[in-house]
Amino acid sequence: MRKKIVAGNWKMNMELEEGLNLVKSINQYFTDKPSVRCEVIVCPPYIHLASVNQILKNGKVRAGAQNCASEKSGAYTGEVSAPMIKSTGAEYVIIGHSERRTYYNEDNRILNKKTILALGAGLKVIFCCGEVKEERESGKYFEVVRTQLEEGLFTLKPEEITNVVIAYEPVWAIGTGLTATPEQAQEMHEYIRSLIKGKYGSVIAENITILYGGSCKPSNAAEIFSKPDVDGGLIGGASLKKEDFIAIVEAV
């Protein structure tokens, strides 16, 4: 059985105290509920990661970063490296989020480099892919996602890809209130799994976790997560509210 995961991507939200309060209550909730078998991850801004990990030390919830540098160390003012993230106790890093691709011009080559560095530092990678609205409308979405995966991930060795979680996030659904239909999500997830199978074989393909992201909320989560190739979600806006985030995790 492959792992089910719900990860909260806080983006550039939450000051220290409110973030720590949110993490405390989420961690308490899930630590007291061993029946929830889904892995729960919070991805706060870098600056909160060490404090968040102090809280999570003995709990069930894990932490991840939202990005990492494309270099390992050195004179890169303002950057945060994968080994630094690992040193805070974080287990995951999100790479290739559409906001990074769009606002910071991160292309597949850079994302591939970041992925290799992150895995080398002992982090697990949540690798995002997804098409923009025009690509959906013109029917190019399979091709776009295939290129993102081929160039971003498919240089990895089999023993590396097993530490990657894929997040399919149609860009037109992120923060817009528009959600992919469960059928659109399933169709793409099935396609992604077939690409993994073609490259790495059926055992790895069956075991890789593929998350859906884009305006996921308590009211639509259960239906999307009920699809056979959807193994959980990457949650933006709704991860900032304790009740909503918990309800989404419980929908898995």
Tell me the two tokens of residue 227: 């699809």
Listed ranges 20-28, 107-115, 182-190, 213-221: which one lies at the site for ligand PGA (CB under 6 A)? 213-221
Measured from the CB atom, the residue of 49 and 170 that comes closer to ligand PGA is: 170
Binding mask 85-124 for ligand PGA (x = CB under 6 A): ----------------------------------------
Of 19, 152, 214, 232, which one interacts with ligand PGA (CB under 6 A)? 214
Measured from the CB atom, the residue of 106 and 169 that comes closer to ligand PGA is: 169
**What are the C-alpha distances in Å from 160 to residues 42, 45, 50, 112, 207?**
23, 25, 26, 12, 13
Catalytic residue among 48, 106, 169, 189: 169
* 48 annotated active-site: no
CB of 166 to ligand PGA, least distance (A): 13
Site for ligand PGA in 225-244 (CB under 6 A): 234-238
**What are the C-alpha distances in Å from 219 to residues 37, 179, 225?**
21, 11, 12
Minimal CB distance residue for ligand PGA: 236
* 131 annotated active-site: no
CB 92 within 8 A of CB 63: yes
Q: How many CB atoms lie within 10 A of CB 110?
A: 17
Measured from the CB atom, the residue of 96 and 236 that comes closer to ligand PGA is: 236
Catalytic residue among 97, 99, 106, 131: 97
Measured from the CB atom, the residue of 156 and 233 that comes closer to ligand PGA is: 233
Residues forming the active site: 97, 169
Give the residues lining the site for ligand PGA (CB under 6 A): 9, 169, 174-175, 213-216, 234-238
